[in-house]
């Protein structure tokens, strides 16, 4: 069964996704990232520019030839249904990603935005109602005192 983790309180969805993808690729994971087209375009640009010392190999699911998509450790796709690999799925979108159950692991990234949090609650309920065990990672900085 798919392992589901919610990363709550991300100050910046794209920035958090970049750091998450850098860590996943360094660990040898193959990752599919889903979300709305505009957000995936923003992530595509950010992956080229977020760190001058790191390059995260990635492509869109529509890249040609198909061998590029199959070989890429990170694939940006509006739908996970036709993903080339099923290791890790990172969802940046508002909806439950179609085909998520084929993946070993699903990571949901949730910002501080109230609308984003409401959508995340709906997705959480969807997974919980189907019996998925859900882990929660709170990204909010801890107060020291």
Q: What is the pLDDT of residue 136?
A: 97
Q: Would you call 52 exposed, middle or buried from its count of C-beta atoms within 10 A (0-12, 13-18, 19+)?
A: exposed
DSSP state of 108: E
User: Does domain 3-138 bear CATH number 3.40.50.880?
Assistant: no
Q: Which residue has the tokens 């107060």?
A: 143
Contacts (Cβ under 8 Å, ≥6 apart) of 61: 32, 69, 75, 76, 77, 78, 82, 83, 84
pLDDT at 145: 52
Q: For each of the chain's 145 residues, which pLDDT tens digit applies?
A: 999 999 999 999 999 999 999 999 999 999 999 999 999 999 999 999 988 888 899 999 999 888 889 899 999 999 999 888 999 999 999 999 999 999 999 999 999 999 999 999 999 999 999 999 999 999 987 655 5
Which pLDDT score, from 0 to 100, does residue 142 have? Answer: 66
- The token pair at 134 is 């859900």
Distance CA 141, CA 145 (A): 13
Domain ranges of the chain: 3-138
Secondary structure (DSSP) of 3-57: EEEEEEEES-HHHHHHHHHHHHHHTT--EEEE--HHHHHHHHHHHHHS-TT----
pLDDT for res 22: 96
């Amino acid at each position: 069964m798919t392992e589901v983790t919610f990363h709550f309180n991300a100050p910046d969805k794209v920035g958090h996704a970049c750091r998450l993808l850098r860590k996943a690729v360094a660990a040898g994971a193959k990752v599919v990232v889903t979300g709305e087209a505009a957000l995936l375009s923003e992530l595509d640009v950010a992956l080229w520019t977020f760190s001058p010392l790191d390059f995260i190999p990635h492509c869109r699911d529509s890249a040609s030839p198909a061998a590029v998509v199959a070989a890429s450790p990170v694939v940006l796709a509006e739908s996970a249904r036709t993903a080339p690999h099923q290791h890790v799925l990172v969802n940046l979108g508002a909806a439950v990603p179609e085909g998520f159950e084929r993946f070993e692991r699903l990571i949901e990234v949730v910002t501080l935005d109230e609308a984003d949090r409401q959508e995340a609650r709906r997705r959480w309920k969807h997974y919980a109602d189907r019996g998925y065990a859900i882990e929660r990672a709170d990204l909010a900085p801890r107060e020291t005192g």
